[in-house]
Structure formats: C-alpha cells, structure tokens
C-alpha cells in the first residue's frame, strides 16, 4: 500500500482528496448488530442562506437516547447514517433547553454546518461558542473558513485555526449538566466508520473548554 503524507491524510479526513474507493465498497458501512435493528452502544462509569438538512438528526437522537447520567460515558459507533454535526441538534433536543456554551475542536467543517451553528447562536439556542479548527483546513478551504469566521464573529463568537487534530464537542447546559463528545470524526459529512463517546461531566467539560478557550483567546503579549 502506498504511504500517504500528513497533508494527504488530513485531506482524506476532510474529504478534499480521498484515495480511490476499493471496488464494491459500500457507501455506508454495516454496523455490528444492524441486522437485528439494535444499535451498538455501551455506558461506562467514569450570505447566501443555507439550510442544514435535519433529516438524519433522528438517527443521532436514537443513538444517544437515553443520555448518560452524571459521570457516565456512552461509547458508540457511527456508520454513515448521520454526520458528527447531527450530534449538536440531537443533544439540544434530548436536553430540551438552550445551551449556555459550546466549545468545539475539529480538523474542519463545511459551509452548511457553520451556517447552522450561526443560526443556533442567533436563535439563542447556544449562547456562547468557541471553535478551534486546523490550520491545514483554513489554508485548504479558505472560503469556507473565512466566511464562517466572519459570520460567527459578527455574532460575538470566536473561530480560530491552529495545528489542531483533536475532535471535541463540549456543551454546557448549566444546571441541566454538561456533555462532552470525544470522537474520531470531523464536523463534515463522512461515510467512514467512526467512533464517538458522550460523557456527562462538568469536570470533563471544564478540562476541554479550558484548553479550547485558551487557544481561541490567548493572553495579550506583555
């Protein structure tokens, strides 16, 4: 098998230059237990107007329901029947109230996702947003990155890029709890098999929100 450079791997993950698909490879990967209709999960203790297609959100809701209890972690697989971004409206629906804050780290995203995020902020469904993306993505798709940055900053939110490869979705609902998803997937549509966790933990939220905020709001030079 031919080796890939770091930039080629990043491009593959972002869907900007994927290697040829093997003959006969399906668009969506069958998950273990799919034949029985049971999803695989386990809980452990520890300017143009765009519209986001919400038709796959019920698949994410089905996977996440019931949400983990405090200090529990749900482990699950995604097989292409919903995108990682669908986790955001799914969690909002299941919690049933607006979020105080969302801190996001991702390699990249697409225009529809960033438009939907801005719409959630404008509707006060998420009151504060901080997003850290990858420098590679900002260079490879500057139109999408810069449009999202301008849109979010116009709403008083923050989007920056750095040498990032972490994929984190951390949402704080105040008294209703904080949820953190640590995943292999970026916030773009993807037909690969992906791994996600969803933890309900204020401590874990504070940890991830801390370093994401620090990257987005560096202290002034002294």
For 55-107, how does the pLDDT look when each residue is reduced to its tens digit (9 = 90+)?
A: 566 788 888 899 999 999 999 888 767 788 889 999 999 999 999 999 999 99
Confidence (pTM)? 0.78
- pLDDT for 12 equals 57
Query: pLDDT band at residue 33, thresholds of 50, 70 and 90?
Result: low
- In this model, does residue 31 exceed pLDDT 70? no
Tens-place pLDDT, residues 111-142: 999 999 999 999 999 999 999 999 999 999 99
Query: How far apart are alpha carbons 85 and 187 in whole angstroms?
Result: 5
Going from the N-terminus, what domains does the chain have, and what CATH number goes with each? 43-216 (3.30.870.10)
Tokens linked to 88: 């955001």
Tens-place pLDDT, residues 143-169: 999 999 999 999 999 999 999 999 999
- In this model, does residue 29 exceed pLDDT 60? no
CA dihedral sign, ordered 94, 62, 53, 136: positive
Between 207 and 59, where is the model more confident?
Answer: 207
Cβ neighbour number for residue 211 with a 10 Å cutoff: 14
Please choose, from the candidates 210, 126, 110, 213, the residue with its C-alpha nearest in 3D space to the C-alpha of residue 172: 126
38 backbone dihedrals φ, ψ, rounded to 5°: -105, 125
- pLDDT for 168 equals 97
Q: What contacts 217, CB < 8 A, 6 or more positions away?
A: 130, 158
């Amino acid at each position: 098998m031919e080796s890939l450079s770091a930039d080629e791997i990043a491009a593959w993950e972002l869907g900007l230059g994927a290697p040829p698909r093997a003959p006969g490879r399906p668009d969506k990967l069958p998950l273990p237990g799919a034949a029985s209709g049971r999803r695989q999960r386990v809980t452990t203790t520890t300017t143009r107007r765009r519209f986001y297609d919400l038709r796959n959100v019920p698949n994410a809701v089905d996977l996440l329901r019931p949400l983990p209890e405090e200090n529990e972690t749900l482990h699950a697989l995604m097989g292409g029947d919903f995108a990682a971004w669908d986790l955001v409206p799914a969690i909002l629906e299941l919690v049933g109230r607006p979020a105080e804050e969302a801190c996001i780290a991702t390699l990249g995203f697409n225009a529809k996702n960033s438009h939907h995020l801005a719409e959630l902020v404008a509707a006060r469904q998420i009151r504060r947003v901080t997003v850290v993306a990858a420098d590679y993505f900002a260079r490879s798709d500057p139109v999408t990155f810069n449009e999202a940055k301008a849109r979010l900053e116009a709403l008083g939110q923050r989007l920056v890029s750095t040498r990032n490869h972490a994929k984190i979705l951390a949402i704080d609902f105040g008294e209703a709890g904080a949820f953190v998803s640590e995943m292999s997937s970026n916030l773009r549509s993807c037909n690969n098999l992906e791994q996600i966790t969803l933890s309900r933990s204020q401590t874990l939220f504070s940890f991830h929100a801390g370093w994401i905020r620090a990257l987005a709001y560096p202290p002034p030079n002294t």
